[in-house]
Amino acid sequence: MGLFRFIFSKTFLIQLVLAGIILIVLGFLTMQWLDYSTNQDQRIEVPDLAKMKLNMVESKLDELELDFEILDSANYNPEFPRYSVIDQVPAPGKFVKEDRKIYLTLNPSGYRKIEVPNNLIRKTRRQVEPTLRSLGFEIGEISYKPDIAEDAVLELRHKGRQVQPGEKLMKTSVIDLVLGDGSGRYRNVESDTLSTNEQTQTEVDEF
C-alpha cells in the first residue's frame, strides 16, 4: 500500500520527469559527439582521375584531403596514356569523407608478352587462327608452300622471321601463316639428295 502511494506521489513523478530529461539530454549530446567524431556532415565529391599520371593524382587528391592506393595494373589499353589511371574506386561523383582512400588501377607500359603454343604446326588453318586470336594475336599474311597437306600450318612468322614454338610475343602481334598448298609435292630433302646421288652413280657405272 505504501509503494502504491509512492508511485503516485508528487516526489516520484518529479524524479521520473527529471530522469526523462536527463536521458534526452544525454542522447542529444551523444549524437552531437558522433557527428563530430565521424564527420557525418563532411562530404567530398570524388574527382575523375581517368588518364591522369600519378603526380597529377597526388596533387589533386591532396587538395581535397583524400588519399590513394594503387591496386594493380590492368591489361594495356592504348586509349589511355602509359602509367595513367584506367579505373578507380569509388567512382567519380561519389561522396566520401575526409582522408578516404581512392583505390586506383593503372595502365601498364605496354601489352604483356604471350607464349605462342607449341602444338600449332601441322594443324589446319581453321584450328590455328581461332587459337591465336583468342590469345590476343592478329593474323597477318597467308602464304603457301608445296606440301601434301592442304591448309596445314607449316610455319608461323612475325616480321619476316620464323616464330619458334613456345616463344613469347607481345599481345596484338601480327603473325603470318605459311600453309601447305595440297599439291602433293612435299619431299624430304635428304631423300632427294640420296636419290640424285644414286642416279649419278648409276649413270657413271653404265658409262
Domains defined along the chain, listed by start:
44-106 (3.30.10.20), 113-181 (3.30.10.20)
Residue 142 φ/ψ region, left for φ over 0, alpha for ψ in the -120 to 50 degree band, beta for the rest = beta
Asked whether 190 and 155 are in contact (CB, 8 A), the reply is no
The β-bridge partners of 175 are: 139
Asked whether 155 and 147 are in contact (CB, 8 A), the reply is no
**Could you check whether the bond before residue 90 is cis, i.e. omega within 30 degrees of 0?**
yes
Alpha helices in the chain (DSSP H): 2-7, 10-38, 54-63, 125-134, 189-206
Cα–Cα separations (whole angstroms), residue 143 to 94, 107, 149, 171, 182: 55, 36, 14, 22, 13
Please tell me the predicted confidence (pLDDT) of residue 87.
93
Whole-model pTM above 0.75? no
Please tell me the predicted confidence (pLDDT) of residue 206.
45
- pLDDT tens for the chain, 207 residues long, are 465 565 666 776 787 788 888 888 888 888 777 666 655 556 889 999 999 998 999 999 999 999 999 887 767 888 899 889 999 999 999 999 888 999 999 988 788 889 999 899 999 999 999 999 999 999 999 999 999 999 999 999 999 999 998 999 988 899 999 999 998 765 444 344 334 344 444 443 444
CA atoms within 13 A on the CB side of 120: 28
3-class DSSP state for residue 168? strand
